[in-house]
Amino acid sequence: MRRWLFVILIPVLIISGLILYDGHRIQQTLSGQSDASRLLANVSKASDEKQTDDQTWFTEQDVVSKKLTTSGPERVGQYLAATEASDKTVIVLPDDTPHQASLFSLIRLYHEQLGYHVLLVERRDTEARSSGWLDRLDLIDWTNQLIADNGPASQILYHGLGVGGATALLAAGEADVPKQLKVVISEGAYARLDDWLAFRAKENLPYPAGPSLAAASTFNKFRQDFFYGDVSVTRQTSRIMVPTLFIHGTDDQRVPSRMAYELYQAKPGLKQLYPVRGAGHDDTSSKDPENYQKRLRLFIEPFVTPL
């Protein structure tokens, strides 16, 4: 009897150990500590001429470094003041992918054509990546700091890409989001973190990763104080009271477009869904720039009062 128990117990221990080890690798990868797991693989690292031109333009501007003055970890943002007097500021939230063709072209659009102050904020990528869950608290702090600097008449927009889009929705759904927030634009956001990770695992891992993801979620609870199942952008979106525009590429291979429909359905009140046909992840603005800019303007302008 003891021999049979031993024969059964050894494989169970080995399998459990492998699951825990893989869960550890997944959690480390998701939190930005390593790239041991392929869970987030298949991210394009290509660049294009337009991205380079707009990034070069950005480096030539009078950009000021701002620090988030809270008691938490130091956060740095890059602030580009409007060329003329303005009470409008857009906070741009980047994705966690290395290729973001639309990031600097978006900044240029807001600054040159719409006359906004622009704040490009740093995400918690280096020491505590949280898929936007912890970043939402930083975003509210950034908003309050901008209002303190620019005055209570400030009009604030959030525009996030990918995980940055999810961050914008997570923050806008908080009860203490400042009333100066007027509009949220979210591009390529995931809906629920556990659902998105299961999708990524199915795409990138050659084995059923459910047990490993459960282990990773448990490890994350100890290290960052939340389970992956706690992070529901859908739930937070159901609490957003300001007009919200959801943009998503129909050919997005990183975040399935079905998640945009889930978020759109959850949002009460004023909202709009803009599916960009043929666009992938982080290239929604470059697929049809003229239509993209037109849709963006038409959505924003009714809710932002001219100075």
- Type of residue numbered 230: D
Identify any residues that bridge with 64 across adjacent strands, giving them in sequence order.
79
Q: Strand order in 117-121's β-sheet?
A: 63-67, 76-80, 117-121, 88-93, 155-161, 181-187, 244-249, 271-276
Distance between CA 225 and CA 230 in Å, rounded?
A: 10
Q: What is the pTM of this model?
A: 0.90
Q: What is the pLDDT along the chain (307 residues), one digit of tens a residue?
A: 566 666 666 665 666 667 776 777 778 777 777 777 787 776 544 444 445 688 888 889 999 999 887 766 678 899 999 999 999 999 999 988 765 667 899 999 999 999 999 999 987 654 567 888 999 999 999 999 999 999 999 999 999 999 999 999 999 999 999 999 999 999 999 999 999 999 999 888 888 888 888 998 998 998 889 999 999 999 999 999 999 999 999 999 999 999 999 999 999 999 999 999 999 888 898 888 999 999 999 999 999 987 6
